[in-house]
């Protein structure tokens, strides 16, 4: 099975779980992992869109299953992880990709707009990482990848909540890498810049044209650009890489 990324990794017989797998980056990552041999649990809230991701995986010859879930529900997360390990025998790779935006300037930001973003983007990753790390530590093997953002590195007007959540993921990654390294479990973050997606399309052509002028590569990234980086960090080849934040932004942050 080919993923079309130009990068391959032997993930045969491994089990991966990707949150936010119903569209965009999460879908691209799930397909890439399956393309390289992993059996992929696709998690998000929208069952219909998750089914579309699984269909893409299966049409290409891979294995996947859809699990509709609220990623902020701790009990549901624990049960899903425990059931997955019992049914599938293991959990080798976790990609915390689920994320939302509620953009507005801080003086206008409601409590709900702050809480919704922090809970989904940061608490959700915490819950999945906590549950998955227990099994990975016992197995003495694991790969955890947190989807951060350049907004978590340099900030972005109108995205104080989003930037805080993404910066929090980097801090969590670096701290937890020190806890898990001795058990052969790595944890890294990926910080995409402007990537082609429904979210970036909503900005409009005029804004996107200006954005491209500020990117040294003079283009938006493609979801496969990010998926290739996740694939490397999920592979056995990345066994000595942990606590790192890999920026994928066409040189925007320098």
Instruction: Please confirm, yes or no, whether 162 is among the known catalytic residues.
Output: yes
Strand residue runs (E) in 126-205? 142-147, 185-192
CA–CA separation, 94 and 97 (whole Å): 9
Is 186 within 8 Å of 143 (Cβ atoms)?
yes
Pairing of strands 142-147, 39-44: unpaired
> Which residue in the list 67, 126, 141, 162 is annotated as catalytic?
162
Please name the residues in contact with 62: beta carbons below 8 A apart, sequence gap of 6 or more.
1, 31, 34, 35, 38, 40
- The C-alpha angle with vertex 129 and arms to 123 and 135, in degrees rounded to 5, equals 150
Active-site residues, by number, are 162
């Amino acid at each position: 099975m080919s993923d079309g990324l130009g990068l391959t990794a032997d993930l045969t017989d491994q089990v991966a779980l990707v949150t936010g797998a119903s569209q965009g980056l999460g879908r691209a990552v799930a397909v890439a992992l399956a393309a390289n041999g992993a059996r992929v649990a696709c998690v998000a809230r929208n069952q219909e869109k998750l089914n579309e991701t699984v269909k893409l995986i299966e049409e290409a010859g891979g294995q996947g299953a859809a699990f509709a879930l609220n990623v902020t529900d701790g009990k549901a997360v624990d049960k899903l992880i425990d059931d997955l390990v019992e049914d599938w025998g293991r959990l080798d790779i976790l990609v915390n990709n689920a994320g939302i935006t509620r953009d507005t300037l801080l003086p206008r930001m409601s409590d709900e707009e702050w809480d919704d973003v922090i809970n989904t983007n940061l608490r959700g990753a915490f819950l999945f990482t906590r549950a998955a790390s227990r099994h990975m530590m016992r197995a003495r093997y694991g790969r955890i990848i947190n989807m951060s953002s350049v907004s978590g590195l340099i900030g972005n007007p109108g995205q104080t909540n989003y930037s805080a959540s993404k910066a929090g993921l980097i801090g969590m990654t670096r701290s937890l890498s020190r806890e898990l390294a001795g058990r052969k479990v790595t944890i890294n973050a990926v910080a995409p810049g402007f990537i082609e997606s429904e979210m970036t399309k909503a900005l409009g052509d005029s804004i996107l044209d200006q954005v491209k002028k500020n990117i040294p590569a003079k283009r938006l990234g493609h979801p496969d650009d990010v998926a290739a980086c996740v694939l490397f960090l999920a592979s056995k080849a990345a066994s000595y890489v942990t606590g790192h934040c890999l920026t994928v932004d066409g040189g925007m942050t320098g």
